[in-house]
Amino acid sequence: MDLDLEFAPRDAAAHPPALAPIYRSTLLRAPRQPLLSLRSTLTEITGPIFGESELDPIDADLTRNHARDGDPIGERITLHGRVLDGDARAVPGVLVEIWQANAGGRYRHTNDSFTAAIDPNFGGCGRVITDAEGRYRFRTIRPGPYPFPNRENDWRPAHIHYSVFGQGFSQRLITQSYFEGDPLIARDAILGTMPDVAARQRLVATLDMEASAPFEALAWRFDIVLRGRGASRFESVA
């Protein structure tokens, strides 16, 4: 195995623990045995590659990609940032997918029964491939908060779900971004699974006036850092 292709071990302290009673759903779904650590093999340093030709440019515009007879309700925003690795290198050419609730906090999903209305002109998902500098950009609407069954009265702060492919399958990441200044952030049970306040802060998108379009849309910036490359503390297996 070429050392330059390996990924650094995941920094466990940067991520929420599998078992976190404050988030009830983890109680029966968190493995109780420790994960088996192994040095990346060829299976992990490789991963699927997606081409621009597989996507439609409108896929990245959630204000238009499911519009039927008008515009979606809500505050239009630009959501952008860079995908980087732990060594601060851009991660170009990787698929970034997002999904979210509409302005009322309702998901277009057969299993969502929240009383807020479905927006006929909003699907709630988008995707894009990062450019040569690792940049991605979506146009969407700001999602609303929504309640979820957990503790007595739990509400999710407004958030966007992200799925990111790195250059190898072991960089695969699903995460969420929040909006700077939302008072629900401090009360959120899902963010509350992370004891490290600095780690929570890394999930908060910041208002980016410079990238906002006057009289059109505010911009929010969210950079995503995947594992870096580099020496591993584990024994080679392949």
Partner 1 sequence: MSKLPETPSQTAGPYVHIGLIPRQAGFDIFENNLGAAMLTPETKGERIRIEGRIFDGADALVRDALVEIWQADAGGRFAHPADRQNGPPPDPHFRGWGRSGTDFATGVWGFDTIKPGRVGPMAPHASLWIVARGINTGLATRVYFADEDAANAEDPVLRMVEPARRFTLIAPRALRGGIPVYSFDIRLQGDGETVFLDV
Applying CB under 8 A, the site for partner 1 has a residue count of 91
Instruction: Name the residue nearer to partner 1 (CB basis): 52 or 75.
Output: 52
Q: Which of 23, 146, 162, 178 is catalytic?
A: 146
Q: Which is nearer to partner 1, 175 or 212 (CB)?
A: 175
* HSE of 3, CA atoms in CB hemisphere, 13 A: 6
If one counts every other C-beta atom within 10 angstroms of the C-beta of residue 212, the result is 15
141 binds partner 1 (CB under 8 A): no
The C-alpha atoms of residue 40 and residue 9 are separated, in whole angstroms, by 9
- Could you tell me the CA-to-CA distances from 19 to 24, 27, 34, 80, 221 in Å, in that order? 9, 6, 12, 31, 30
Measure CA 36 to chain center: 25
Kindly tell me which of 41 and 212 has the beta carbon lying closer to partner 1.
Answer: 41
Q: Which of residues 74-93 bind partner 1 (CB under 8 A)?
A: 84-88
CA-to-CA distance for 91 and 83, rounded, in angstroms? 5
Asked if 47 interacts with partner 1 (CB under 8 A), we say: yes
Among positions 20, 79, 94, 141, the unique one binding partner 1 when judged by CB under 8 A:
20
Cβ of 73: how many Cβ atoms within 10 Å? 15
For residue 68, state whether it binds partner 1 (rule: CB under 8 A). no
Q: Is 38 in the site for partner 1 (CB under 8 A)?
A: yes
By CB under 8 A, residue 200 contacts partner 1? yes
Kindly list the catalytic residues. 107, 146, 156, 159, 161
